[in-house]
Amino acid sequence: MPINPADSPILGTLYGSDAMRAVFDERAYFQRMLDVEAALARVQARLGIIPADAAEAITRAAVVENLSTDELAASARNVGYPVVGLVAGLSRAAGGAGGWTHWGATTQDIMDTATVLQVREGLSLIRAALAGMVAALAGQADKHRHTVMAGRTHLQQALPITLGLKCAVWAQPLIAHVHRLDALRPRVEQVSFAGAAGTLASLGDKGIAVMEGLAAELGLAAPAAPWHVCRDGLAETVAFLGLVCGSLAKLATDIILLAQTEVSEVAEPYVAGRGSSSTMPQKRNPIASEYILAAARTVHALVPVMLGAMAADHERATGPWQAEPLVLPQSFVLTHGALLHASAIAEGMVVDADRMRRNLDITHGLIVSEAVMMGLASHLGRGEAHHVVKHACDAALAEGISLADALAREPEVANRLDRAAIERLTDPAHYLGSADAFVDRVLRAAK
Length of the chain: 447
Q: In the annotation, is 316 catalytic?
A: yes
Q: Which of the following is catalytic: 68, 277, 378, 434?
A: 277
Distance between first and last Cα of the chain? 44
What letter represents residue 208's amino acid? I
159: three-class secondary structure by DSSP: strand
| Rounded CA separation 70/76 (Å) | 10
Are 237 and 188 contacting, i.e. CB atoms less than 8 angstroms apart? yes
Are 307 and 235 contacting, i.e. CB atoms less than 8 angstroms apart? yes
Are 388 and 410 contacting, i.e. CB atoms less than 8 angstroms apart? yes
Are 208 and 200 contacting, i.e. CB atoms less than 8 angstroms apart? yes
| Rounded CA separation 322/24 (Å) | 16
Are 263 and 296 contacting, i.e. CB atoms less than 8 angstroms apart? no
Count other C-beta atoms under 10 Å from residue 142's C-beta: 16
Residue 261, classified by CB atoms within 10 Å of its CB into exposed (0-12), middle (13-18) or buried (19+), is exposed
Residues facing 162 on adjacent strands: 148
| Rounded CA separation 287/37 (Å) | 44
Q: Which of the following is catalytic: 316, 355, 416, 424?
A: 316
Q: Residues near 297 by Cβ (< 8 Å), separated by ≥ 6?
A: 249
| Rounded CA separation 344/347 (Å) | 5
Are 81 and 32 contacting, i.e. CB atoms less than 8 angstroms apart? no
Catalytic residues, which ones? 277, 316
